[in-house]
Structure 1
Amino acid sequence: MSSVAEEAAGATAYSAAAAKKTQSKPLNSPAEVIAASLVGTTVEFYDFYVYATAAVLVFPKLFFPSGNPVASQLASFGVFGAAMIARPVGAIFYGHMGDKRGRKATLVACLMTMGIATFLVGLLPTFDQIGLWAALLLLILRLTQGFALGGEWSGAALVATENAPEDKRALYGTFPQLGAPIGFIIANGLFLIINFSLPHPDSPTMQSEAFLSWGWRIPFLFSSVMVIIGLYVRSKLAESETFKQAEAKGTIVKVPLFDTLRHHMKAVVLGTFAMLATYVLFYLMTTFSLSYGTHPADQSPAGLGITYTDFVLMQIIGVVFFGLFTILSGPLADSVGRRKLLLWITGIIIVFALMFPIFLDSKANTSFNGALVEAFLIIGFTLMGFTFGPMGALLPEMFPTNVRYTGSAIAYNVSSIIGAALAPIIATALWSAAGGSTWMVGVYLAIASVLTLISLILTKETKDIDFNGDLGAKKTK
C-alpha cells in the first residue's frame, strides 16, 4: 500500500515539476523541433522517391527485362508497392518501441534502417549479372525501406505535435509533412543533374548508357550523406515531456498493439480511410504520372510522349506548390479545424479526379496541351498539400499518449497498402484497359476520395482535445 502511495506522490511531484518546467522553458526549442521532424522525414522520403523514380526509369530495364514494356513496368511497380505491405509491420515494431521506450531512440533506428537499405540498393548487381537474384535482392531491400518508413512518419509527427503550443499543433504537424515535397525535389533534382551530366549522344534529355550502367546508382549512395546529417540533428533532441509524464504516471502499456486494437480500433479504421485519398492522389501525381507522361504517344497504351527531363521539371514546379500549401494548411486547420478543412478539400479532389481527361487525354504536341498538363500537376499537388498537411496533427490527435505512436502509425501505414501500394498498379492497368485514356484513373481517385469523405464525416473534430493531458488509461497491477 505504501509503495502505491509513494508512486502516486512521486507522479504528482513529477507532474508539478514538469508543468513548472514546461511553463518556463520547453525541453526542445521550436528550431530543434522543426529540424528533428523535418530533416528525418526529408531523408526518408528522399530515399523513397529515389526508388520511385528508378522504378520508372531504370528498374524495368535492368531488373525486370521481359520484352514487354508494360509488363516490365508493372513488375517494377509491384516491387515498389511491396514496400507498402512492409510498412504496417514496421508501424507495429517501431510503434511498440516508440510507445514503450520513447520517440527519440525509435526515430534514430528508423533513419538508420532506411539509410542502410537505400545505400545497398545502389550497390546491387543487375539481372544481366546475376539473373533473378537481382530482382529478389531488390525486393528484400525495398521491403526494408518500407519497414523503416512504417515507423518514421508517426515518430516525426509526434515529435512535432507533442512539442507544439496547443493552438499551433496543426502548424507544427506540417513540419514532418514538408519532408515529402523537399525529399521529392532533392531526389528528382539529383537524377536530372546526373542525367544531364551523362548526356545521350542523340539528346541530353535521353538516358545514356552511362546513366543506365552506373549513373542511376549515385542518388542511392548519396543517401548516406543525408542520413548522417539526420542522425546528428536527432541526437540533440530531448525526449517528449508528454511521454515522460505517461511513464511517470504508469500509463505505459506492456503491448501497445493489443491496447490499440482493443480500445481504439474505431480510430484506427477511421484514420486509415481518412488517409486513403491522400495516398492515391500522391502516387498518381508522382509515380503514375511520370510513367504516363514519359510513355510514347504513338505506342499503345498512348502516353504523353514528354521527355523524362521535361516532365520531371514540370513535376518539380508542381511540387513547389505542394510544399507551399502544406505549410499554409497548418494555420488554416488550426483556425477552422482539421475535419472541416479536409471535408472541403476531399470534395474538391473528387471534382478534380473527374476532370482528368480534360487535362491529359489530348496527345497533340502543342504548347496549349503542355500548359494543360502543367496545370494538372499544379492543381493536383496544391490539393495534395492541403490534404496531407493536416494529417500530421489529425492522426496523432486520434489516440492517447500511451498508444499514440502505434495507433497513428498503423492507421497511416495500413492506408499505404490500400492506397499507395496499389495506386500505380491499378492506374497503369486502368490506363491500359481504357486504350490510353485517363478517365478510369480519375474515377478510381474519385472512389477513393468518397471513402475518405465518409470516414471524415464519421470522425470527430480533434482541434480542441486535451492532447498532452490525455496520457491513456493507467495500467492495472
Structure 2
Amino acid sequence: MSTDLSSGGPRPGSKADAAAKDDGSAELGVPRSRVVLASLMGTTIEFYDFYVYATAAVSVFPLIFFAAGDEGAALLASMATFGAAFVARPIGSVLFGHFGDRIGRKATLIGSLLTMGIATFLIGLLPTYYQIGLWAPALLTIMRFCQGLGLGGEWSGAALLATETAKEGKRAWAAMWPQLGAPIGFLLANGLFLILTLAFNHDSTNPEMDGAFLTWVWRLPFLLSLLMVAVGLYVRLKLQETPVFQRAVDNDERVKAPLGEVFQKNWRELILGTFIMLATYVLFYLMTTWILSYSISSPEASGLGVPYADFLVLQLIGILFFAAFVPVSGWLADRFGRKPTLIVISALLVLFGLTFGWWLSADSIGQGAGLNTTQMMVFLMVGMTLMGLTFGPMSAVLPELFPTNTRYTGSGIAYNVSSILGAALTPFVAQWLVLNFSVAHVGYYLSFASVLTLISLIIAPETKTKSLDTVRGLDA
C-alpha cells in the first residue's frame, strides 16, 4: 500500500487514500463502526433508563411511592412525577449544549451518560412511602429530574456524533442509528420487567403489597443500569472529536455563549424544530406509557383491566415494528428528502388519531379476559410502524437546521422543549381525557398535534443537501 512516510497516512491520490475517504475512517480517526456503536449504545442505555422509570411509573410507583387511596388519583400523581424529567430536559440541553458547542461532542456525551446512569441507579435504592412518608415521592421526583438532565444532553450529542461523521448523501441513514436506541432500550427495559413479573408471579390487577416484586424485585432493573453505563462509558472514551466540530475549532468559529447566540440568530429554527418534533413525541408516549396504563387499569378506573404481563407481551411485539421502520425512514429521507417523507407520515398520523375511538373503546375491544387481543395487536403494530417512520429522520432534521457553533445547543433545545409540549403532558392529559370524556378524545389530541407538525414541516426548508460546515442558520 502506498503511504506518505512523513505523516504515516495514505498518500494523497493513492488507492488507499480513496478507500479511506470513502469509508470516512481517515477523517474520523476511528473506524466508522465504532462511531455507530457509540451513538447506538449510548442512546440505548439512556432510553433504557428512561423506560425503566416509565414502566415503573405505571405498574409500581402508584402502589409504593404515593399514599394509599383512589387508584386513579395515585396513577395521576405518578404520571406527574414522570413528567418532571421533561421539565429538566430543556435545562439539560442548555447545560450540556453549552459544553458540547464549546468543549466538544465527546466529553459532553460522557457527562450526560454518567448523569443519567447514576440517577437511575439511585432510584433503585430509594425507600418507599411506607418507610419515609412524603420524602419518598420527593426523592423520586429529584432523581427523575436528574434523569431528564442527562437525557436532555444525550440525544443531541448522539445525533451530532452520527450526522457530523456521515458520508455525503447518507446523513439520514447515519442519523437513524442513535434513533434505534429508543426501541432497543424499550425492549431491554420492558423485557426485563416482563421476565421479573413472570418469575415472581406478580399480578398487576391484584398486587401483593408484601410480595417479593413490590418489596425488592422492582429495584433490579434500576440497579443493573450501572453495568450498562460502564460499558457505554468504555465505548465513548475510545472516540475522537467529530471532524465538523474540529474544523470549527481550527477556524475559530466557536462562540462564547451558544445559548445567547442561538436565541438571537436561530430563534426561527428553534420554533420550527420544536413543532416538527411535536407529533412524534405525542405518538410515542401514547403508544408506550399511556396505552400501558389504560390497558392495565381496572374498569372502575376507566381502563381495560388487562393483566400487566399479558399486555406487555403485545407491546413488546409492537416495538419490533418501531425498530424495523426506523431504518426504512432513514432510507426514505435520504432518497426523497426530509420534508416530503415527514409530510406524508404526519398526514397519516392525523388520520390514525381519528380512529382511536374505534380501536380502543371498551365496547369495541372488550375488557379483561374478553379483550380482543388481535385488535389491540393490530393497533399497536400500526402505531409503532408510524412511530418508526416519524422518529427515524429526526436526528438528521433537527441538527441540519442549526449552524455548527450552536448545533448542540439549538437541536437539543428544540428536541427537549418539544418533549414538554408533546411528552410530559401527554400521559397526564390522555388519562384525564379518558376519565372525563372518552378514549376517542385521546386520538383527537394526537391529530391536533399532528396538524401542528404538518404546518411546521410545510414552512420549514428542505435540509437534505445543506452543508453542516456552516456558522449561519436557515438563511445560509
TM-score of the pair, normalised by structure 2? 0.91
Which residue does the alignment assign to 1:109?
111
Asked if structure 1 preserves the Cα contact closer than 8 Å seen for 2:72 and 2:301, the reply is no
Quick one: distance in 1 between partners of 2:179 and 2:122? Answer: 26
Q: Which of the numbers 385, 408, 411 marks the counterpart of 2:411?
A: 408
Cα deviation, 1:232-281, whole Å, max 9, x if unaligned, reads 11111111011111011111000000110000000000000000000000
1:153–1:204: structure 2 CA closer, same or farther, 3 Å change rule? Answer: closer
Whether 1:225 aligns to 2:227 is yes
Query: What pairs with 1:421-460 in structure 2 (closer than 5 Å)?
Result: 421-434=424-437, 437-460=438-461
Counterpart AA for 2:169: D
Which residue does the alignment assign to 1:214?
216
Cα deviation, 1:70-100, whole Å, max 9, x if unaligned, reads 1100110000001100000000000000000
C-alpha displacement at 1:64, in angstroms? Answer: 1.1
Whether 1:397 aligns to 2:395 is no
Partner SS, residue 178 of structure 1 = helix
Which residue does the alignment assign to 1:315?
315
Whether 1:187 aligns to 2:189 is yes
C-alpha displacement at 1:66, in angstroms? Answer: 3.8
Quick one: distance in 2 between partners of 1:330 and 1:183? Answer: 19
Query: What pairs with 1:132-281 in structure 2 (closer than 5 Å)?
Result: 132-200=134-202, 207-208=207-208, 209-281=211-283
Q: Give the length in aligned residue pairs.
A: 448
Partner SS, residue 216 of structure 1 = helix
Asked if structure 2 preserves the Cα contact closer than 8 Å seen for 1:199 and 1:207, the reply is no
Which residue does the alignment assign to 1:339?
339
Asked if structure 1 preserves the Cα contact closer than 8 Å seen for 2:204 and 2:296, the reply is no
Which residue does the alignment assign to 1:326?
326
Which residue does the alignment assign to 2:389?
386
C-alpha displacement at 1:296, in angstroms? Answer: 2.1
Runs of 4+ in 1 over 6 A off after TM superposition: 203-206
Quick one: distance in 2 between partners of 1:155 and 1:177? Answer: 12
Counterpart AA for 1:355: T
Which is worse superposed, 331-340 or 61-70? 61-70
Quick one: distance in 1 between partners of 2:393 and 2:207? Answer: 38
C-alpha displacement at 1:305, in angstroms? Answer: 1.7
Quick one: distance in 2 between partners of 1:206 and 1:30? Answer: 50
Which is worse superposed, 207-216 or 324-333? 207-216
Asked if structure 2 preserves the Cα contact closer than 8 Å seen for 1:47 and 1:220, the reply is yes
Quick one: distance in 2 between partners of 1:441 and 1:260? Answer: 35
Whether 1:306 aligns to 2:306 is yes
Quick one: distance in 2 between partners of 1:233 and 1:314? Answer: 33
Asked if structure 2 preserves the Cα contact closer than 8 Å seen for 1:271 and 1:408, the reply is yes
Quick one: distance in 2 between partners of 1:441 and 1:219? Answer: 30
Quick one: distance in 1 between partners of 2:472 and 2:251? Answer: 10
Q: Which of the numbers 58, 70, 75 marks the counterpart of 1:56?
A: 58
C-alpha displacement at 1:26, in angstroms? Answer: 3.2
Quick one: distance in 2 between partners of 1:384 and 1:419? Answer: 14
C-alpha displacement at 1:207, in angstroms? Answer: 4.7
Asked if structure 1 preserves the Cα contact closer than 8 Å seen for 2:40 and 2:178, the reply is yes
Quick one: distance in 2 between partners of 1:38 and 1:194? Answer: 26
Which is worse superposed, 57-66 or 386-395? 57-66
Quick one: distance in 2 between partners of 1:372 and 1:363? Answer: 7
Quick one: distance in 2 between partners of 1:211 and 1:50? Answer: 15
C-alpha displacement at 1:472, in angstroms? Answer: 4.6
Quick one: distance in 2 between partners of 1:332 and 1:430? Answer: 35
**Pairwise CA RMSD of aligned residues?**
1.7
Which residue does the alignment assign to 1:375?
378
Quick one: distance in 2 between partners of 1:317 and 1:367? Answer: 20
Quick one: distance in 1 between partners of 2:304 and 2:168? Answer: 47
- Provide structure 1 residue ranges, at least 5 long, that are not aligned to the other structure: 1-18
Quick one: distance in 2 between partners of 1:300 and 1:82? Answer: 24
Quick one: distance in 2 between partners of 1:411 and 1:66? Answer: 38
Which is worse superposed, 365-374 or 217-226? 365-374
Counterpart AA for 1:352: F
Asked if structure 1 preserves the Cα contact closer than 8 Å seen for 2:204 and 2:307, the reply is no
Quick one: distance in 2 between partners of 1:384 and 1:207? Answer: 32
TM-score of the pair, normalised by structure 1? 0.91
1:204–1:450: structure 2 CA closer, same or farther, 3 Å change rule? Answer: closer
